[in-house]
């Protein structure tokens, strides 16, 4: 997981001990009673390769999971 995901997990109380316990007991983690959790989602955002065909030339940069959008562009070309 990344830094943002780790911070979110810690915010809702998902410690390593809780995660291990859930896995061992095959249970789901629940928020403590009375705990309010507000989540805001910003978006939606278009795919990074969405407008690539509108240009005469494009430089595609991606690595790891970031290569996924560009793989389809390269395959199409």
Digit-coded pLDDT (tens) for 6-44: 787 787 778 888 888 888 998 887 776 666 767 676 665
Higher pLDDT: 43 or 75? It is 75
Q: What is the pTM of this model?
A: 0.36
* Residue 29 contacts residue 14 (beta carbons within 8 Å): yes
Give yes or no for a contact between 58 and 52, defined as CB atoms under 8 angstroms apart: yes
Query: SS3 string of 15-71?
Result: CHHHHHHHHHHCCCCCCCCCCCCCCCCCCCCCCCCCCHHHCCCCCCCCCHHHHHHHH
Domain ranges of the chain: 1-35, 41-77
């Amino acid at each position: 997981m990344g830094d943002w995901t780790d911070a979110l997990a810690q915010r809702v109380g998902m410690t390593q001990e809780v995660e291990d316990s859930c896995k061992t007991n095959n249970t789901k983690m629940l928020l403590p009673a009375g705990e309010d959790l507000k989540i805001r989602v910003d978006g939606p955002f278009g795919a990074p390769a969405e407008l690539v065909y509108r240009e005469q030339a494009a430089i595609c940069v991606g690595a790891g999971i970031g290569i996924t959008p560009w793989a389809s562009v390269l395959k199409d070309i």
